[in-house]
Structures are given as structure tokens and as C-alpha cells.
């Protein structure tokens, strides 16, 4: 199954991007507790303060997209205004995740007429 990006939702899209090529594998899906303060006493006791919720992220690497596909990705990036608006990401298994785009749009021309870049998504 192919992936897709739908704003604001798949059922009521006003903007969407359905990449012609899937992301390069491995497509990373990380889970972490990034906001924990830790300290250790002289005796070796570890103290941890949990300051935030669990966070899931997706890292999608696209390689050698056509100019049209790169432009469609840029149009979607402009529609959601980077992380300003949440949208739905449909993964390769067909599951929908509400996410925000968290990195800059940086697709570089790696061979003539083909563009590569990474998209970082943070699950809501």
C-alpha cells in the first residue's frame, strides 16, 4: 500500500500529497520520553523526573523524486505551514496518524531532474 499526506484529514482533504515513490527503507518510527530530567547521587542512586508525555516520530527519506513530485510535496508543506497545522499521515500499512511536519523543506537535486530529502513528522 502506498503512503499519503492529507490535510486536514483523509476524509475531508483540502490538500494532499500522494508520493509517486515510497520512502526509502528503513522508514523510522521512534518512540521516546524526551523530557526527562535525570540526576545521580554520589552513591550511584539515579533520580528521574518525567516532565512530558511519550513522543512518537516518523522519519521518511525520499530519494530521486521527480520535479513534479517534489513540487507537490512543497505545495503540501506550504498548505500545512510546516508544523502550524496538524494533518493525517497514512503509513504503508494503511494506518492513519495525526502528525505535524517538524523540519524544514530541504529537497536537494541529487541527479539532474531528481530530488532527495527527509521529512520528520511528530505524532500528536
Percent of the chain with pLDDT over 70: 99
Mean pLDDT for 61-78 is 96
**Residue 99 sits in which domain range?**
4-123
pLDDT at 29: 78
Q: What is the pLDDT of residues 107-122, one digit of tens each?
A: 999 999 999 999 999 9
Of 59, 103, 55, give the one whose Cα is nearest residue 82: 103
- pLDDT above 90 for 73: yes
Assessment of whether the complete model's pTM goes beyond 0.75 = yes
What phi and psi values does residue 108 have, to the nearest 5 degrees? -105, 150
Say yes or no to pLDDT of 53 above 80: no
We report the CATH number of the domain holding residue 52 as 3.30.200
pLDDT at 1 over 60: no
| Close Cβ partners of 6 (under 8 Å, ≥ 6 residues apart) | 13, 15, 16, 87, 88, 89, 90
Record the cell numbers describing residue 23, joined without a space.
520512502
Q: Which tens digit of pLDDT belongs to each residue from 83-93?
A: 999 999 999 88
Q: How many distinct structural domains can be found in the chain?
A: 1
Q: Roughly how many angstroms between the first and final C-alpha of the chain, as a whole number?
A: 23
Amino acid at each position: 500500500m502506498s503512503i499519503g499526506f492529507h490535510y486536514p484529514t483523509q476524509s475531508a482533504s483540502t490538500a494532499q500529497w500522494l508520493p509517486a515513490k515510497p520512502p526509502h527503507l528503513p522508514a523510522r518510527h521512534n518512540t521516546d520520553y524526551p523530557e526527562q530530567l535525570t540526576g545521580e547521587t554520589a552513591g550511584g542512586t539515579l533520580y528521574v523526573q518525567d516532565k512530558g508525555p511519550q513522543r512518537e516520530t516518523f522519519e521518511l527519506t525520499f530519494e530521486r523524486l521527480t520535479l513534479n513530485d517534489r513540487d507537490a510535496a512543497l505545495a503540501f508543506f506550504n498548505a500545512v505551514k510546516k508544523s502550524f497545522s496538524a494533518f493525517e499521515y497514512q503509513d504503508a500499512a494503511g494506518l492513519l496518524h495525526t502528525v505535524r511536519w517538524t523540519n524544514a523543506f530541504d529537497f536537494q537535486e541529487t541527479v539532474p531532474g531528481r530530488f532527495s530529502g527527509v521529512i520528520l513528522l511528530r505524532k500528536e
